[in-house]
């Protein structure tokens, strides 16, 4: 039996992660991610901030009622309305946690809250007591703790533990801390707060200086027993501590940290892909652990070393984090079962209708392209899997661009039984002209905030994947389109964003 400490993993992808610009998720997507997170083995899932919006409320309620195997947590500020709303969302959850927070740093006290230290302590205690009146499992976060005077931090922590908090989370809200300093904050709390053994100490680091993982590990080194993190490190501004990185650091350097987590590390890559597909936030190629190049050895000396003895240049095995051993090639003659099996290995459980749609697209692609790699399949699955009802579809298009001519686009789109054609000889280029023509037909005017094209695999016949961020009525929406023709992929991406807008409008009016 190991006497090592077990570090709890508190995942906040659905709450802090969703605060990444453009990463909003619908209810079904949140429930799906929550399921993937339980399969991954996280201990706590923060599913939302129930007072913030009806969507957040529903997400906490649904995730709480549909997810087994992890504690489900809802966030609340330190006031009665927030806490009551959080409990309203959580009350049917078997294993629930209320997470209350209140800023403690001088800068927040003075400029944001206009409260004295004594008033802060009083409100924090009242908030924790109210949460405890509903639920045994209560977490308190002194927001901006990393910039709070240590004496005051110790007082608030002691008072909130006395009031019944079972977890004390230390946030570095603005990503200002350094590893040594973060370690010192935790060490001070461990040494100076008399009742500290009655609560789990947690850490929640933002990545503004790129130090979130390092700061979290420093906190663990000084006694923190819970890490708050998100999949792929997504979150407010530069994001949060990346779950996959912190978990693999603890596992790979067990000799140093002498502790472990309950994460099933082979689920890291599939979960990362799922989150990236749903949020539309791409994982950079060189991202540690889950990036496409994380295990690719380019230098001849490294390749030579690897062939002689893998551990010369490799500290983790790709299969330990869930990279498939081979990039299996599917082709024209591959059947539905082979496709479903491969998609499953890549992290996507396709069922019935989804499998049929992906299979149809796969067959069309196999006519154009001899070999279909994992990247192609992922692009097809992403396109179909979390999609919105297709109210508008593309029937045909003609787009032209020349150095001495105005860009031109002519589109025919279908909605229900009707087809509509419009042309636009306008814009800065063919893509802009395609936007204009789509807007003329659908009547929906979009502001394009981001436009990215990437190829799914190597080769000139690879699929082109377009990801768009657009704004409509002040709200961000994303769109994704896939085709071997990048103009077609773009038009499909625009229509995908428009269909998402229509779906959201319908959900809101309901």
C-alpha to C-alpha distance for 83 and 480, rounded to whole angstroms:
38
The number of residues in the chain equals 510
Q: Compare residues 174 and 468 and give the one whose CB is closer to ligand KIV.
A: 174
What is the closest distance, in whole angstroms, from the C-beta atom of residue 18 to Zn ion in the complex?
Answer: 11
Q: Compare residues 127 and 171 and give the one whose CB is closer to ligand KIV.
A: 171
Q: Compare residues 90 and 321 and give the one whose CB is closer to ligand KIV.
A: 90
What is the closest distance, in whole angstroms, from the C-beta atom of residue 194 to ligand KIV in the complex?
Answer: 24
C-alpha to C-alpha distance for 137 and 95, rounded to whole angstroms:
9
Q: Which of residues 173-212 bind Zn ion (CB under 5 A)?
A: none
Number of CB atoms found within 10 A of residue 287's CB: 18
Specify whether the CB–CB gap between 304 and 335 falls below 8 A.
Answer: no
C-alpha to C-alpha distance for 268 and 472, rounded to whole angstroms:
34
Of 57-65, 168-176, 454-462, 470-478: span binding ligand KIV (CB under 6 A): 168-176
DSSP state of 14: T
Q: Compare residues 75 and 163 and give the one whose CB is closer to Zn ion.
A: 75
Q: Is 56 in the site for ligand KIV (CB under 6 A)?
A: no
Q: Is 11 in the site for Zn ion (CB under 5 A)?
A: no
What is the closest distance, in whole angstroms, from the C-beta atom of residue 310 to ligand KIV in the complex?
Answer: 39
Q: Is 279 in the site for ligand KIV (CB under 6 A)?
A: no
C-alpha to C-alpha distance for 249 and 219, rounded to whole angstroms:
13
Of 167-175, 192-200, 419-427, 479-487: span binding ligand KIV (CB under 6 A): 167-175
C-alpha to C-alpha distance for 37 and 11, rounded to whole angstroms:
8
Specify whether the CB–CB gap between 495 and 488 falls below 8 A.
Answer: no
Q: Is 173 in the site for ligand KIV (CB under 6 A)?
A: yes
**Alpha helices in 291-443, H assignment, sequence order:** 300-308, 336-345, 352-368, 374-385, 430-442
Given ligand KIV, Zn ion, none, residue 143, with its beta carbon under 5 to 8 Å by kind, binds ligand KIV
Q: Which of residues 70-109 bind ligand KIV (CB under 6 A)?
A: 101
Q: Is 171 in the site for ligand KIV (CB under 6 A)?
A: yes
Q: What are phi and psi of 142, to 5 degrees?
A: -80, 100
Given ligand KIV, Zn ion, none, residue 101, with its beta carbon under 5 to 8 Å by kind, binds ligand KIV
Of 166-174, 317-325, 353-361, 484-492: span binding ligand KIV (CB under 6 A): 166-174
Q: Compare residues 148 and 169 and give the one whose CB is closer to ligand KIV.
A: 169
What is the closest distance, in whole angstroms, from the C-beta atom of residue 236 to Zn ion in the complex?
Answer: 6
Say how far residue 275 (Cα) sits from the centre of its chain. 5
Q: 470 - beta bridge partners?
A: 448, 477
Instruction: Kindly tell me which residue out of 7, 8, 11, 16 binds ligand KIV, with binding defined by CB under 6 A.
Output: 16
Element holding 245 (H helix, E strand): helix 243-252
Instruction: Kindly tell me which residue out of 93, 121, 141, 207 binds ligand KIV, with binding defined by CB under 6 A.
Output: 141
Q: Is 230 in the site for ligand KIV (CB under 6 A)?
A: no
Q: Compare residues 238 and 502 and give the one whose CB is closer to Zn ion.
A: 238
Q: What are phi and psi of 268, to 5 degrees?
A: -65, -50
Specify whether the CB–CB gap between 422 and 441 falls below 8 A.
Answer: yes
- Which structure tokens are listed for 107? 């800068």
Of 14-22, 27-35, 80-88, 462-470: span binding Zn ion (CB under 5 A): 14-22
Element holding 182 (H helix, E strand): helix 179-192
Of 10-18, 154-162, 289-297, 372-380: span binding Zn ion (CB under 5 A): 10-18
Q: Compare residues 175 and 347 and give the one whose CB is closer to ligand KIV.
A: 175
Given Zn ion, ligand KIV, none, residue 141, with its beta carbon under 5 to 8 Å by kind, binds ligand KIV
How do 8-11 and 5-6 pair as beta strands? unpaired
Helix (H, G, I), strand (E, B) or coil at 210: coil
* Binding-site size, ligand KIV (CB under 6 A): 9
Q: Which of residues 436-495 bind ligand KIV (CB under 6 A)?
A: none
What is the closest distance, in whole angstroms, from the C-beta atom of residue 44 to ligand KIV in the complex?
Answer: 13
- Which structure tokens are listed for 115? 């409260």
User: 220 to each of 34, 247, 258, 276, 295, how far by Cα in Å?
Assistant: 25, 12, 10, 28, 27
Q: Is 16 in the site for Zn ion (CB under 5 A)?
A: yes
Number of CB atoms found within 10 A of residue 416's CB: 7
Q: Is 204 in the site for ligand KIV (CB under 6 A)?
A: yes
Q: Is 137 in the site for Zn ion (CB under 5 A)?
A: no
Instruction: Kindly tell me which residue out of 29, 143, 376, 465 binds ligand KIV, with binding defined by CB under 6 A.
Output: 143
What is the closest distance, in whole angstroms, from the C-beta atom of residue 239 to ligand KIV in the complex?
Answer: 11
User: Hunting for tokens 């807007």 — which residue is that?
Assistant: 439
- Which structure tokens are listed for 448? 């394009």
User: Residue 24: which of 42, 51, 48 has the closest Cα?
Assistant: 48
Contact footprint for ligand KIV (CB under 6 A): 16, 101, 141, 143, 169, 171, 173, 204, 206
Contact footprint for Zn ion (CB under 5 A): 16
């Amino acid at each position: 039996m190991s006497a090592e400490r077990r570090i709890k993993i508190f995942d906040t992808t659905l709450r802090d992660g969703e605060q990444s610009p453009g990463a909003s998720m619908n209810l079904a997507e949140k429930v799906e991610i929550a399921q993937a997170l339980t399969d991954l083995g996280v201990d706590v899932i923060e599913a939302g901030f129930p007072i913030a919006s009806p969507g957040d409320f529903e997400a906490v309620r649904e995730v709480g009622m549909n997810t087994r195997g992890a504690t489900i947590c809802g966030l609340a500020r330190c006031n009665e309305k927030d806490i009551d709303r959080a409990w309203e969302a959580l009350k049917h959850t078997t294993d629930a946690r209320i997470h209350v927070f209140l800023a403690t740093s001088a800068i927040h006290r003075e400029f944001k809250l206009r409260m004295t230290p004594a008033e802060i302590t009083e409100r924090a205690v009242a908030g924790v007591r109210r949460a405890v009146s509903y639920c045994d499992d209560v977490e308190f976060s002194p927001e901006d703790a990393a910039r709070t005077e240590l004496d005051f931090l110790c007082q608030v922590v002691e008072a909130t533990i006395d009031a019944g908090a079972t977890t004390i989370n230390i946030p570095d809200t603005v990503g200002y801390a350094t590893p040594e300093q973060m370690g010192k904050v935790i060490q001070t709390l461990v040494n100076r707060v008399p009742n500290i053994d009655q609560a789990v100490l947690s850490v929640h680091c933002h990545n503004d200086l790129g130090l979130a993982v390092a700061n979290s590990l420093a906190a663990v080194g000084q006694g923190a027993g819970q890490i708050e993190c998100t999949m792929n490190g997504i979150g407010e501004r530069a994001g949060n501590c990346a779950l996959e990185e912190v978990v693999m650091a603890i596992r790979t350097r067990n000799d140093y940290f002498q502790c472990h987590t309950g994460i099933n590390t082979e689920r890291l890559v599939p979960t990362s892909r799922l989150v990236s597909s749903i949020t539309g936030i791409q994982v950079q190629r060189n991202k540690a652990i889950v990036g496409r190049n994380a295990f690719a050895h380019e230098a001849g000396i490294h390749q030579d070393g690897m062939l002689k003895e893998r551990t010369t240049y490799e500290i983790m095995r790709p299969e330990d984090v869930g990279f498939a051993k081979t990039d299996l090639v599917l082709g024209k003659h591959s059947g539905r079962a082979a496709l479903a099996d491969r998609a499953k290995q890549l992290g996507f459980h396709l069922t019935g209708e989804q499998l049929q749609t992906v299979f149809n697209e796969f067959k069309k692609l196999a006519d154009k392209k001899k070999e279909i790699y994992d990247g192609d399949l992922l692009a097809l699955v992403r396109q179909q899997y979390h999609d919105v009802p297709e109210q508008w579809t593309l029937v045909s298009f003609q787009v032209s661009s020349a150095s001495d001519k105005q860009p031109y686009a002519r589109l025919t789109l279908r909605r229900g039984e009707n087809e509509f054609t419009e042309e636009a000889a306008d814009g800065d280029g063919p893509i802009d002209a395609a936007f204009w023509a789509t807007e003329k037909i659908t009547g929906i005017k979009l502001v394009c905030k981001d436009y990215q094209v990437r190829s799914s695999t190597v080769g000139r016949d690879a699929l082109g994947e377009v990801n768009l961020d657009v704004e409509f009525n002040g709200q961000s929406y994303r769109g994704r389109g896939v085709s071997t023709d990048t103009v077609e992929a773009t038009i499909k991406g625009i229509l995908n964003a428009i269909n998402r807008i229509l779906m959201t409008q319908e959900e809101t009016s309901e």
